[in-house]
Amino acid sequence: MIALVDCNSFYASCEQVFRPDLKGKPVVVLSNNDGCIIAANKEAKSLAHIPMFQPVFKIKKVLEQNNVVCFSSNYTLYSDMSQRVMNTLREFSPLVEEYSIDESFVDLSGYSASRVQELATEIKDRVHQNTGIPVGVGVAKTKSLSKLANRYAKKEPKNDGVYVVDSEEKRIHLLKKILVKDVWGIGRKHAVRVESTGAITAYDFSKLPVAWVRKQMTVLGERLWRELQGETCNELVPLPKSKQGIGTAKSFGYKLNEYGLIEEACASYVSEVADLLRQQKSAAGKIEVFLATNSFSDTDKQYRNKVVITLETPSSSTIKLTKVALQALRKIYRPGYRYKKVGVNLFNLVPDNKVQFSLFDFKEKIECEALTKAIDKLNNKYGKNKVKVATVGNREKQWALIKEHRSPRFTTQWDELLTIGKV
């Protein structure tokens, strides 16, 4: 049996863990630069006039009238809370597939069938006890069925957040309760094709001829069809595959025309992606830098450009990658524009122990590796970016994202730990 554990309104729930006074109140989380709503708890979702992904400035009065509490996105906090949830799940099984930041598949094949219902409830309760995050748990023989079971567990109040498909009757009942358009793996276009046959529910879909499914939805659709029958086609993946590309691009808090500030931002982003590169023990063979103005502005002159540079030898060194990235930035920067975004992408990633060096750069490699390891060690000990390349600078980041409503990073920063005052 496989359990799909999905956190409820994860970003908003993370904020409420450290703000118990917000229990029962509408809470939303905003995107970068506090632009639009990207997450909301059930109280906020119940307000139909507050749609997701709506620009905040358009509904500011509505938010105020409904006493909606807004938070700037705090990804450092969310990432750490996610790992706490995943670590709790590993107390139940060594095989956990982290499907996304807020959901995981958990292998329960080591437990007897008679214990699964009790175990699913225990998983839900322990995650909440350890982290404060509410979750839904769906259990079934296949990943596709467990995904639907999770949806049904959270949709129907009588399930109390848990639904276990441990019989043929329950499987059929579940499929009849889920619409085709809500089935994991059926996109909008495929849903239209399926519905054109008269199939409305997942059960109707499961009764279509497999030949039709294969022809109209390819082999991926056939796998889904078979999984809904209870036949395993998608195995659990315990370890995430190494990324084939790593990048970051954030809009500036304010439009910039000063090259020095853009250079700072670019160097800072290189540091971020290089750190991720080393975490997965890879080296980059190509680096792309792009620069753009605000395409939504009716008053600013428009310009965007990018350049890709191939490194002579793949590298994961922040210093080397920064040097190359700034060369690229100088090629595409043009004065006279107000820029809104700079981005850095790393491509052609290879395992760092399989990098092919030339006869002449081996010594440089040894020296660069030693320096990089020393910097990482200091940053791990004393805090992120305590040691960094000079281009990033030490002054206040005038280009940083707007985060007027960001909560403290309660779990990762000593100076932002939650303090409890005397009553």
Residues 6 or more apart whose Cβ sits within 8 Å of residue 198? 204
pLDDT tens digits, 381-420: 777 777 888 877 766 676 776 677 788 878 877 777 777 7
Q: How far apart are CA 31 and CA 38, in angstroms?
A: 6
pLDDT tens digits, 50-77: 777 778 888 888 888 889 999 998 988 9
Per-residue pLDDT at 13: 94
| Mean pLDDT on 159-181 | 94
Per-residue pLDDT at 368: 75
| pLDDT exceeds cutoff 80 at 288 | yes
How many percent of the chain have pLDDT more than 90? Answer: 57
Confidence at 362, pLDDT banded by 50, 70, 90: low
pLDDT tens digits, 13-35: 999 999 989 988 999 998 887 88
| Mean pLDDT on 351-358 | 79
Domains of the chain: 5-77 (3.40.1170.60), 82-228 (3.30.70.270), 246-392 (3.30.1490.100)
Confidence at 243, pLDDT banded by 50, 70, 90: confident
| pLDDT exceeds cutoff 90 at 11 | yes
Give the side-chain half-sphere CA count within 13 A for 417. Answer: 5
| pLDDT exceeds cutoff 80 at 353 | yes
- Higher-pLDDT residue of 271 and 390 is 271
User: In the block, which residue shows the tokens 């939504």?
Assistant: 296
Per-residue pLDDT at 223: 94
Per-residue pLDDT at 402: 66
| pLDDT exceeds cutoff 90 at 124 | yes
